Amino acid sequence: MNAGRRLRRAVLPAAGLLVVLGGFGYLLYGGLESNLVYFLTPSELVARGAEAYDVPLRLGGQVMPGSVHWDAPALSLTFQMTDGARAVRIRSRGAPPQMFREGIGVVVEGRYRPTGLFESSNLMVKHSNEYRAPHPGERPEALYRTLLRERSGGE
């Protein structure tokens, strides 16, 4: 009977440890795949075909000039995004960021639909990380005017 008791004392903790490790393994590997969000370019997205439909994705590229359509009453923005090789139609709900314009780099989060439309739930503008402080005697307002002129196509 002492041998049986010793065996149980050795097996029960080992079995408990195995169950705990198995549970962690399942949570780590089984739950991880469903929570991944891939970052793709339009070419990579189109190349994935049906595998890319209706899964959470991030898509990065540039806004194609002449493709932006903003419906203010409906808060609906549609445009085409390109990586230079392929283009994808994007629809985003809500007001776009202030810096959004044609030709700028953007990242959208959402889902690619079988219709070929990427429905974005989040639109982020990629911008330069360069900061230039005004030179002595230069007024910040002058820098803002230059920025606004660039955004509107110049004067």
pLDDT at 127: 67
CA torsion angle 103 108 113 115 (round to 10):
-10
SS (H, E, C) the chain: CHHHHHHHHHHHHHHHHHHHHHHHHHHHHHHHHHHCCEEECHHHHHHHHHHHECCEEEEEEEECCCCCEEECCCCEEEEEEECCCCEEEEEEECCCCCCCCCCCEEEEEEEECCCCEEEEEEEEECCCCCCCCCCCCCCHHHHHHHHHHHHHCCC
pLDDT at 151: 46
pLDDT at 65: 93
Q: Report the CATH architecture of 38-125.
A: Beta Barrel (2.40)
pLDDT per residue, tens digit, the chain (155 aa), is 576 677 677 777 878 888 888 877 777 776 666 667 788 999 999 999 999 899 999 999 999 999 999 998 999 999 999 999 999 999 999 888 888 889 899 999 999 999 999 999 999 987 666 666 666 776 666 655 555 444 445 44
CB 118 within 8 A of CB 91: yes
pLDDT at 33: 60
pLDDT at 139: 66
Ranges of each domain in the chain: 1-35, 38-125
pLDDT at 123: 93
CB 92 within 8 A of CB 69: no
User: Which of 106, 110, 140, 137 has the alpha carbon at shortest distance from 124?
Assistant: 106
Q: pTM, whole model, 2 decimals? A: 0.63
pLDDT at 66: 93
The beta-carbon contacts of 3-10 under 8 Å, at least 24 apart in sequence, are none
